[in-house]
Structure 1
């Protein structure tokens, strides 16, 4: 090409290059989110709102690496097989950049296995089984919420103070419930060697025969009860337990029962004095939480639930990971998330390099019936960093699983 020809076509070529660069800069990062929205609406409705608020705030501030965030949401039907199929559709058909989500532990484990096989970065927001980051942890899976070991470790000191010898246990018979009970038994036995577990009821998830379960627990005459039931199963259990006097003069230690998702449903049936992990949104006065609360209420004209915090913090985590990685490449995201620091409504957290577990904590307190509404009282925040197994325990559990 002559010099004259080049000069004539140079502006066109420059425009093409500039346009391509601009299109890339103004593109989007697609976040593929799969969850059990139809099966667990009490938690996942607010969770979705929390995600939407975070996306709106991030995009209003200019996005990430010059790109806006876009949510692509799918339901996994609370089924591990469907969850893997949906994950594959999000990756291959929707071309999402980041894979996130899942609520139930068995669906979370299925998607984590998919992530490992496909070498795709996966950020699990909610599943609580310890196998997600420890016994079955893999290089591509990270988790936001404190798992069953961490939450049991937060509750066990309070349980040990009760000095109750005979304990009964009730839990949903699937991965989450089994993991929670194993952690509680192990940690309470360490804190109180003479403890006895005199009864154990493990109904299928969502199929609680409340009368039979409550009667079996009462017949065992325990001094205290550890409960892991949630959602509709929890409501049925509390109603039947109140009716039959199961909780009279017995302390109950209960995982996640202090979350508004479940206390709201109990209303005037809320039992007094259960020791629980939960989310007393009405009493947290830290600057981080107040800013989140104000923004959430302004956007949705409603108060947040714990799901709202998890969804919000998960999107914030994904955005910080993309920013640090400078790319949505899975291997770069994995490297970026190791040690990643993120600001959340519960304060700053980080994702541990050794096990991919975040240090997000939980509130521990007691249930109280406040004029027909369930609330938490006498609560305090437990930093997740203080309730994780040692590096040696993590290495041993992950090595044993390989």
Structure 2
């Protein structure tokens, strides 16, 4: 049995407020996990994500828990604000006595939690934050990341972009850590693959406040051959709508981070762009046994199809369970040692958490957007293994601080 952190509570999942309810006598909830995310700031992704981790916790506890102990999740909403996330992390560690912290959506929030984890010496498994800094320039012993990073997704997209005849490129991205990081690494990788390309325009609208018409007009004025898009959520809808109205995408290639994810593609409905090269998740056409098992369980529990957030939340807690089982302890150093190099099966296949930089090898689907039956979908897609889009150990040592 793992070192018991608390036997006062019996609910296997505590959601939303972070408050803990009293449990019926005789029941034990043994290992507390602190979960922080931007539920109120971006529910399109975080609500499916929460359902994904709830399903995982239910499965973990139903199959015997962690070496006989059950998981308890204490969940907090950071509102998309780094300071609120750090406050939540401190409450979870200092007051609630969690074994580790997980979650995060926005990259700037993830970096704030990672810095807290470094200084407080608590393990943090970042699920969604994509900035490369979280595992490289600002990486630390206590922070790990699940999703394929900006570098990994940029490498997948640049590989396809290099095949296009386009020479003149323009970019549009939200003006914060994620957008800045994504544009920077895409530029570097595309120029490396195709040295004659040039970037002729950049647009940096504030997150959540894009003026789609002005952005589209500015990009069109630069007369690019192709566009890199990093907008997502409601900003993506505005950009697509205004860009389509102004003919921005006509006879131009568009390469786009995340647009193939159902969280962002479905709201576009029949307005979804066609022919964009994107990363995403075509849940309706992934027929591997691992994915089918996950999808059927998710649909049976929630009566709706999974989203990419669902997969992230599910795999995030399956990873935590494997770390705890391997560590046979809730001491932070034991958890860190167990996490480094750990492998597990996921709905997308086997992944490994690299010891060299604490980045998992979870991959992404790369394909093109299309409209079918009045809905945006991904077509001509392929799952790209994240392990094939990561730099060598020698390169990582140059990017990541030691210790």
1:233 to 224, 231, 235: 235
**Higher mean C-alpha displacement, 41-50 vs 202-211:** 202-211
1:47 is matched with which residue?
A: 49
Q: Does 1:301 align with 2:303?
A: yes
Q: Which ranges of 4 or more aligned residues in structure 1 deviate by more than 3 Å? A: 23-27
1:273-319 CA-to-partner distances (Å, cap 9, x unmatched) read: 00000000000011100000010000100000000000000000000
**Counterpart Cα distance in 1 of 2:320 and 2:117:** 16
2:84 to 59, 82, 85: 82
**Counterpart Cα distance in 2 of 1:173 and 1:112:** 21
1:38-80 CA-to-partner distances (Å, cap 9, x unmatched) read: 0010000000000000000111101012111111110011111
1:26–1:66 CA contact under 8 A, matched in 2: no
3-state SS in 1 of match to 2:158? helix
1:206 is matched with which residue?
A: 208
Structure-1-length-normalised TM-score:
0.93
State the shift of 1:27 in Å.
4.1
1:74–1:86 CA contact under 8 A, matched in 2: yes
Q: How many residues align?
A: 380
What residue ranges of structure 2 are gaps of 5+ in the alignment? 1-6, 8-24
Structure 1 or 2, whichever has the larger Rg, is: 1
1:282 is matched with which residue?
A: 284
What residue ranges of structure 1 are gaps of 5+ in the alignment? 1-18
1:140 is matched with which residue?
A: 142
3-state SS in 2 of match to 1:161? coil
2:34 is matched with which residue?
A: 32
**Counterpart Cα distance in 1 of 2:395 and 2:237:** 36
2:326 is matched with which residue?
A: 324
2:12 is matched with which residue?
A: none
More helix by share: 1
State the shift of 1:96 in Å.
1.3
Report matched runs for 1:286-365 at 5 Å.
286-365=288-367
Report matched runs for 1:160-171 at 5 Å.
160-171=162-173
**Counterpart Cα distance in 2 of 1:369 and 1:185:** 29
State the shift of 1:163 in Å.
2.2
2:29–2:72 CA contact under 8 A, matched in 1: no
Aligned CA RMSD, in angstroms, stands at: 1.5
1:129–1:176 CA contact under 8 A, matched in 2: yes
3-state SS in 2 of match to 1:365? strand
3-state SS in 1 of match to 2:274? coil
